[in-house]
Amino acid sequence: MSSIQEFEKTLDQSDKSVAAFEDRSFLRRIQHFLHSTPAAIPAIVLIFSIIVFGVLKGERFFTASTLTLILQQIAVVGILGAAQTLVILTAGIDLSIGVIMVLSAVVMGNCAVTYGMPAPLAVAAGFVTGTLCGLLNGFLVSRMKLPPFIVTLGTWNIIMAVNYIYSANATIRRADIETAAPLLGFFGISLKLGSAVITLGVVMMVVTVIALWYALNHTAWGRHVYAVGDDPEAAELSGIRVNKVLLGVYGLAGAIAALAAWVSIGRNGSISPSWAVTDYNLQAITAAVIGGISLFGGRGSILGTLFGALIVGVVSMGLNMLGADPQWKVLLTGVLIISAVGVDQWIRKVAG
Amino acid sequence: MEPILTARGIVKRYGRVTALDQSDFDLYPGEILAVIGDNGAGKSSLIKAISGAVQPDEGEIRLEGKVVSFRSPLQAREAGIETVYQNLALSPALSIADNMFLGREIRKEGPMGSIFRMLDRPKMARIARDKLSELGLMTIQNINQAVETLSGGQRQGVAVARAAAFGSKMIILDEPTAALGVKESRKVLELILDVRNRGMPIVLISHNMPHVFEVADRIHIHRLGKRLCVINPKDYTMSDAVAFMTGAKVPPEAMAA
């Protein structure tokens, strides 16, 4: 077609074989499989840990009540982890997600109990609070171009302080909530199937993860979230409004944190501003990272986050039943985090 | 013949630096116009002004006779001007099909698309495969494989195919062979000629003189923020072009148009 240049004449005789896939090693094939199926590792680790504790603790571990108790324990962190996953997929991080949840819960409780607002309005007020906090993060990250770590480190402190100042650190008692606004405890309602106990909070966690999985994989918005985390400049040049996507992701993460607040009211019964001392944000990051969500953005499946939260839940329940020092759980979590990031780096090299 | 795109008196300043100083530009239907110039001559500013990536301070750009002023690359794209950037603007972790449709996804018909915003993946995969086969790029096996698992030439192929698939008026290619090996460059040059033969005018920015002289119909030489001249590659040698471009020689006629 095009006239060939002098130095290219020898191309005809050049070796025509291209990199063949037949001879690639077993390890290479695993690497490729994991590259295209990011939730596989956490799923395998989860099954492995269930088997280990099953063998060690036998019939006591493999009861419907134990296994469903694990689900109840991870419902809140699972939902927060889902919110965190959205942010991490954009190559960001949200350190404030835990305190956004606490503040949203306090607002829900105060609106219903202290101000006597109708329960649905109180819940809505909590969602507005969470969303606004998330949008503040999103505004600072997308418009002011500040690094997400710094922004959310700042808002973590700010929101935590607002939480204590606003509430005067007063706990809202279970009895008051139950009389004033039973709707707040909605997610504590449990369905019993034999000895299996599934709370609506657990159902909500699963629904949240599935809904987000659908949005991330089967809508244009989801593809844009991945593209923004992968390479923001390329995304912008492809016609994606990067700022809008970022603002939306942080705002949605805030709204999901408010959902986690509602679920945690159901789980705890009461509402305490001092929940803010619990490292919910770190637990959410842990679930996402163990679940194979890359901290560099653009990679990972939200199903992995669910598996990640389950791994932490299974390990802590198993060690608990073995009567081990609770610090072993902390130690093992640390090992899992570092292993997960190491594996992530290795999978990335598939392109190289 | 009427030019498809003209620019007249384009000025762009960055602080005290004047990147474009009353520059002109013409692209005719069905041609490959190469833009060459020394580093800092203002080639990329000129191209960015046309592709909407920067807004010129003065001057007028007309697309098919109508005055246009693009405030973003998106607007230029909507007007039918596709640009393949040097860094390709592909998302490495997304699949070939996802990348081809990034920013202009197709949704399913019916309620699944309008209410649940579900993407029509089979349709996008089919169109992507058709576009790649049209351009003879179907050595790429799996349309759903991540772009980062492709070679440099294949990635360039995907980017060019994307531009060719969606560009309706013209395509701008920024240094398409700069990062490629000999064999891959050859493939991409053939691809460029193939796209031109389908009637699509192409603006080619390149430092590679042999490539420019091989494929270009006309060569726009940019110097000191202005269009110095436009030459026919059949009438001049590569050393002439380099001499004009660096100021070592003055073009015989100021063929300004």
Cβ atoms of B120 and B106 closer than 8 Å: yes
Confidence label for B58 from pLDDT (cuts 50, 70 and 90): very high
**B87 contacts A2? CB cut-off 8 A:** no
In a domain, B228, yes or no: yes
Give me the pLDDT at residue A311, please: 94
In a domain, B104, yes or no: no
Considering only CB atoms, A8 lies closest to which of B99, B146, B182, namely B182
In a domain, B151, yes or no: yes
Give the model confidence (pLDDT) of B69-102 as tens digits: 998 888 888 899 999 988 778 888 899 999 999 8
Give the model confidence (pLDDT) of B5-36 as tens digits: 999 999 999 988 888 999 999 999 999 999 99
Considering only CB atoms, A230 lies closest to which of B88, B91, B186, namely B91
In a domain, B170, yes or no: yes
Give me the pLDDT at residue B112, please: 87
Give me the pLDDT at residue B175, please: 87
* Structural domain boundaries enclosing B231: 5-93+146-246
Looking at beta carbons, which residues of chain B come within 8 Å of A226?
Answer: 91, 93-94
The SS3 of residue A92 is coil
Looking at beta carbons, which residues of chain A come within 8 Å of B193?
Answer: 1-2
Pairwise CA distance, residues B35 & B221, whole Å? 6
Cβ atoms of A54 and A61 closer than 8 Å: yes
State the smallest CA–CA distance between residue A93 and chain B in angstroms.
19
User: How many CA atoms, within 13 angstroms, populate the side-chain half-sphere of residue A124?
Assistant: 5
The SS3 of residue A279 is coil
DSSP B149: G
Considering only CB atoms, B94 lies closest to which of A218, A219, A226, namely A226
Spell out the domain ranges in chain A. Answer: 67-317
Nearest chain B Cα to A13, which residue?
Answer: B183
Give me the pLDDT at residue B111, please: 86
The SS3 of residue B94 is coil
| DSSP states of A162-226 | HHHHHHTTPPBPHHHHHHH-GGGGGGG-EEEETTEEEEHHHHHHHHHHHHHHHHHHHSHHHHHHH
State the smallest CA–CA distance between residue B107 and chain A in angstroms.
8
Number of domains present in the structure of chain B: 1
Walk along chain A (352 residues) in steps of 10 and give the mean pLDDT of each run: 61 54 67 82 91 85 89 96 97 96 96 94 97 98 96 97 95 91 92 90 97 96 96 88 96 98 95 92 94 92 96 92 89 91 82 52
**B94 contacts A223? CB cut-off 8 A:** yes
One-letter amino acid at A119 equals A
State the smallest CA–CA distance between residue B256 and chain A in angstroms.
29
For residue A159, give the nearest of A193, A188, A180, A134 by alpha carbon: A134
Considering only residues A83 and B139, tell me which one the structure prediction assigns the higher pLDDT. A83
CB-count exposure of residue A79 (10 Å: 0-12, 13-18, 19+): buried
Give me the pLDDT at residue A300, please: 92
Give me the pLDDT at residue A121, please: 96
Considering only CB atoms, A235 lies closest to which of B91, B149, B189, namely B91
Tokens 């109508």 locate to B66
Q: How far is CA A132 from CA A34, A109, A119, A282, B136, in A?
A: 37, 18, 20, 21, 51
Confidence label for B177 from pLDDT (cuts 50, 70 and 90): confident
Pairwise CA distance, residues B205 & B183, whole Å? 20
Q: Which CATH number fits domain A67-317: 3.30.420, 1.10.3470, 1.20.1690, 1.10.10?
A: 1.10.3470
Give me the pLDDT at residue B27, please: 94
Q: Which residues contact B183 (CB under 8 A, 6 or more apart)?
A: A11, A14, B153
Number of Cβ atoms within 10 Å of the Cβ of B205 = 23
**B92 contacts A230? CB cut-off 8 A:** yes
**B148 contacts A238? CB cut-off 8 A:** no
In a domain, B52, yes or no: yes
Looking at beta carbons, which residues of chain A come within 8 Å of B87?
Answer: 233-234
State the smallest CA–CA distance between residue A220 and chain B in angstroms.
6
Confidence label for B41 from pLDDT (cuts 50, 70 and 90): confident
Interface of B with A (CB under 8 A): 73-74, 77, 83, 85, 87-94, 98-99, 102-105, 107, 116-119, 121, 139, 145-146, 148-149, 182-183, 186, 189-190, 193-194, 210, 214-215
**A2 contacts B189? CB cut-off 8 A:** yes
**A11 contacts B182? CB cut-off 8 A:** yes
In a domain, B242, yes or no: yes
Tokens 């060019």 locate to B160
- Is the confidence metric ipTM above 0.90 for this complex? no
Q: What is the number of CB-based contacts under 8 A between chain A and chain B?
A: 96
In a domain, B118, yes or no: no
Tokens 């040097």 locate to B86
The answer to whether A5 faces chain B, any CB pair under 8 Å, is: yes
- The domain that holds B216 is classified in CATH as 3.40.50.300
DSSP E strand boundaries for chain A: 190-193, 196-199
Please say if the pLDDT value at position B256 is more than 60.
no
For residue A81, give the nearest of A232, A302, A268 by alpha carbon: A302
Element containing residue B204 per DSSP (H, E): strand B202-205
